[in-house]
Chains A and B, each alone.
Chain A
Amino acid sequence: MSEVFIERGIALVGAILVGVTAIVQLKNDWAARGIDAGLTKVLLGLMALGCVLALLAAANVLGVRT
């Protein structure tokens, strides 16, 4: 098993786990009000987006170099 395959596998599984957890936390905090809650929601949303990017990169959909 190649090193790249292991790295991509860990990234793929990790991205799903972390991304889903971030979205669930975002949903749980959705009703919270205040500057800190609002900022946390924005940052959690962007972090979930980062997980999507990492997932697509690990799946060789994005970041493919020819």
Chain B
Amino acid sequence: MAAAVQHLSGHEAIAARYHDVDPVYGETRDLRLLGFVFFLLSDCILFSSFIFAYVYLRISAPAWPPFLNGHQLPWFDTSFAAMNSIVLFGSGVTMHFALENWKHLNKAKFNGWLIATIVLGIGFLLGQAHEYSVVGISWTGTTMGASFFTLTGMHGFHVFVGVLYLTILGLQANRGVYTGSKYFGLTAGTLYWHFVDVIWVFLFFLFYIW
């Protein structure tokens, strides 16, 4: 069966691989995946719009950080952000391990890596909350503050939704919703989490390195 499938491509290969499990699943998996990719692309466009607005505001500003009431605003804390970034990037790796273990039918390890991902995601959110409390600027008053809180807030909301999403996926996985060959939800969850990680790569560069 596996050898025969290797000679097929695209939709045929997917349909052949999953036909013995659920013919409808095999036929619709590609379409659902494509739909999810379009969802990620639309999210990408949303972030891109705000990122371009920030870049435009920054390069057209007479000074950066801008001045407020005669005082120049402080730079963001690069060392704390680097540490918090690693917490988020680490969660991407643990999520990847979770999916790989599910594919290899190792449910105990899947649960362990998934919990690690959720804990790291919450850790990142707590780090962001700490940063908001000490950053020394507000949403209003300057383009720097408005851009920072809008972009990182929108990203933080995505992380929060991701934590809920992964929790639900974990519950579903343990209730037998997914099997070793039928786990589209877990694939989508992993892609979403990687996407959230990658958005942070750009935000980290723009706010803490540039």
A57 to B92, CA, bound (A): 20
Q: Are B78 and A43 in contact (CB under 8 A)?
A: no
B83 partner residues in chain A, CB cutoff 8 A:
7-8, 10-11, 14, 58
Q: Are A11 and B194 in contact (CB under 8 A)?
A: no
A36 to B201, CA, bound (A): 20
Given A47-B194, A53-B205, residue A18 in contact with residue B93 (CB < 8 A): yes
A21 to B197, CA, bound (A): 15
A65 partner residues in chain B, CB cutoff 8 A:
75, 78
Residues of chain A at interface, number, CB under 8 A = 32
Q: Are B198 and A63 in contact (CB under 8 A)?
A: no
A19 to B86, CA, bound (A): 9
Partner of B198, one of A7, A21, A43, A58: A43
- Given A11-B85, A39-B40, A44-B96, 6 extra CB contacts under 8 A: A8-B83, A14-B87, A25-B96, A50-B85, A54-B89, A58-B79
Render A26-39 as a binary contact track against B, CB cut-off 8 A, 1 for contact: 00000000111001
A residues adjacent to B (C-beta < 8 A): 4, 7-8, 10-11, 14-15, 17-19, 21-22, 25, 34-36, 39-40, 43-44, 46-47, 49-51, 53-54, 57-58, 62-63, 65
Q: Are B191 and A36 in contact (CB under 8 A)?
A: yes
CB nearest to B207 among chain A residues: A63
CB nearest to B193 among chain A residues: A43
Q: Are A47 and B197 in contact (CB under 8 A)?
A: yes
B92 partner residues in chain A, CB cutoff 8 A:
18, 22, 43-44, 47
Q: Are B78 and A36 in contact (CB under 8 A)?
A: no
Render B23-39 as a binary contact track against A, CB cut-off 8 A, 1 for contact: 00000001001100100
A59 to chain B, nearest CB (A): 9
Q: Are A47 and B34 in contact (CB under 8 A)?
A: no
A43 to chain B, nearest CB (A): 4
B21 CB-CB contact with A under 8 Å: no
B80 partner residues in chain A, CB cutoff 8 A:
7
Given A18-B89, A25-B93, A54-B89, residue A43 in contact with residue B34 (CB < 8 A): no
Q: Are A40 and B86 in contact (CB under 8 A)?
A: no
Given A18-B86, A53-B204, A57-B208, residue A63 in contact with residue B194 (CB < 8 A): no
Q: Are B85 and A54 in contact (CB under 8 A)?
A: yes
Q: Are B86 and A63 in contact (CB under 8 A)?
A: no
B200 partner residues in chain A, CB cutoff 8 A:
50
